[in-house]
Amino acid sequence: MSCAVIDRAAARGRVAVSLLFFSYGAILGAWTARIPAIKHVLGLSDGQLSVGLLAFAAGAITGMQAIGRPVDRYGSARLMVPAALADAALLVAPGYAPNLAMLVASLYAFGVAHGALNVAMNVNGVEVQREWGRPIMSSLHAAYSIGGFVGAAVGGLFAYAGGSAAATFLAVAAVVSALALWAGRWAYRSHPQPQPGESATAAMPRPTGVLFLGVLVFCCLVGEGAAADWSAVYLRDNLGTGAGFAASAYAAFAVAMMAGRLVGDRLALRFGPVALVRGCGLLAAVGFGGTLLIGRPAAGVIGFACLGAGLSCIAPQVFSAAGSQHPAAAGKAIARVAGLGFLGFVVGPVVIGAAAELVGLPTALAIPAVLALFVAATATALAPRTAAQR
């Protein structure tokens, strides 16, 4: 195959997987924006709604773990498009759930498809990056962030116009399905195989190495969950701001994270993954932790911006390392890493809330800063490995 053909295939593959990252974010953004409508229509209490949200989280973790081995066997390109189509279709189901039991069932199924898409598209992203010849994972995660903004905006517009959650989900699902079909035509197809003479056992990722990479993503997503669930509460209840200003804290976090991901590939190319992740961890720890000590409204917004910028490049680099260090078993490796990361996003805010009951929210929010410092101190885990070290 000529270089021109390889370059064209890689370029189309990058567009295809970017479309799926965007779709993944748009689906999640639309769902999140219409959760209040679902709660209102079904007359759910906060506790009942939390059961549904936990079902979605359990389904996502199930899907992540189930898809790893098939991705390694059949290739990510064959599975990520069906996963995206299933994700779009199953997004619609919660909008028509008539009661809590059906909502829980539909959210579990939705979560399974969402988790499967997460792993398959990240594996494909690593494969495209390998063919591309330079870092692209941060830009792919930026596409996810942009998709989240778009999905949430669409959900907000439907809510403003009085549209139902089901109508919102149908509209988003239709667009995502079209994007997925486009991605299917351009998807980069690569199925890593063990090197000649390498046994199947040797091709398996080392559990301890993959587990530690998962711990790093866990630490990162604790911070993301904390920003999503506690930023506005901290500014409003602890710093005494109005609701509008309090909401700007998460907006600052999200914008800074997206901006960091847009420049992350260039930073990774220039400084390498270890230095980049170390610097990002220090920015999150020092920038966010320092503003907690200041305890002023403006400092709070700046602190969450520092947290978003600091965390922005960590997860893309860890996913890249997991897939690159274990190319013959990238699906299983990324499934383990993604599962631990998602667990951090779900569990982290709960732990911070429990800690806040004991020591107060400002002190409890130091947890993401400490975890970011841990990531910075252990960034050498992302150093590229030789074949003998895998």
pLDDT digits (tens, 9 = 90+) for 313-323: 999 999 999 98
CB atoms within 10 A of CB 47: 7
Is it true that 3-186 and 200-389 share their CATH fold?
yes
Among 170, 44, 160, 62, smallest CA distance to 108 is for 62
Is the pLDDT at 24 greater than 70? The verdict is: yes
**371/387 Cα distance (integer angstroms):** 30
pLDDT digits (tens, 9 = 90+) for 131-187: 998 999 999 999 999 999 999 999 989 998 999 999 999 999 999 999 999 999 999
For range 109-136, the mean pLDDT: 95
For range 182-207, the mean pLDDT: 64
Place of tokens 């009942």: 48
Q: What residues have CB less than 8 Å from 279, skipping those under 6 apart?
A: 271, 376
3-state secondary structure of 1: coil
Among 94, 90, 93, smallest CA distance to 42 is for 94
Instruction: Work out the angle at residue 145's Cα, subtended by the Cα atoms of residues 152 and 62, and round it to the nearest 5 degrees.
Output: 90
Say if CB 125 and CB 95 are below 8 A apart: no
Confidence label for 204 from pLDDT (cuts 50, 70 and 90): low
User: How high does pLDDT run on average in the chain?
Assistant: 90
Is the pLDDT at 206 greater than 70? The verdict is: no
Model pLDDT, residue 386: 53
Q: Which of 70-79, 198-207, 342-351 has the lowest mean pLDDT?
A: 198-207
Phi-psi region of 43 (alpha: psi -120 to 50; beta: other; left: phi over 0): left
Is the pLDDT at 201 greater than 70? The verdict is: no
Among 49, 19, 43, smallest CA distance to 31 is for 49
| Top-confidence residue, 126 or 384 | 126
Model pLDDT, residue 389: 52
Model pLDDT, residue 366: 96
Say if CB 335 and CB 343 are below 8 A apart: no
**327/316 Cα distance (integer angstroms):** 16
Helices (H) and strands (E) in the chain, counts: 17, 0
**75/330 Cα distance (integer angstroms):** 10
**141/231 Cα distance (integer angstroms):** 22
Q: How far apart are the first and last CA of the chain?
A: 28
Which fold, 200-389? Answer: Growth Hormone; Chain: A; (1.20.1250)
Give, as one character, the DSSP assignment of residue 317: H
For range 187-210, the mean pLDDT: 59
Distance of CA 296 to the CA centre of its chain: 30
Query: CA 129 → CA 82, 154, 169, distances in Å?
Result: 22, 31, 32
Q: What residues have CB less than 8 Å from 235, skipping those under 6 apart?
A: 241, 245, 246, 248, 249, 297, 300, 301
DSSP string, 210-278: HHHHHHHHHHHHHHHHHHHHHHHHIIIIIS---HHHHHHHHHHHHHHHHHHHHHHHHHHHHH-HHHHHH
Model pLDDT, residue 109: 97
Using the Cα atoms of residue 109, residue 113, residue 258 and residue 345 in order, give the sign of their dihedral.
Answer: positive
pTM recorded for the entire structure: 0.89
For range 51-80, the mean pLDDT: 94
DSSP string, 4-39: HHHHHHHHHHHHHHHHHHHHHHHHHHHHHHTHHHHH
pLDDT digits (tens, 9 = 90+) for 216-262: 999 999 999 999 889 989 998 999 988 788 888 999 999 999 999 99
Reading the block at residue 264, the tokens are: 């992350």
pLDDT digits (tens, 9 = 90+) for 303-313: 999 999 999 99
Model pLDDT, residue 194: 52
Is the pLDDT at 390 greater than 70? The verdict is: no
Instruction: Work out the angle at residue 283's Cα, subtended by the Cα atoms of residues 277 and 289, and round it to the nearest 5 degrees.
Output: 130
CB contact burial 186-198 (16+ within 10 A = b; e otherwise): bbbebebeeeeee
Q: Which of 1-15, 110-124, 136-150, 335-349 has the lowest mean pLDDT?
A: 1-15
- Phi, psi for 163 (deg, rounded to 5): -75, 155
Q: Where are the domains of the chain?
A: 3-186, 200-389
Reading the block at residue 44, the tokens are: 């759910």
Which fold, 3-186? Answer: Growth Hormone; Chain: A; (1.20.1250)
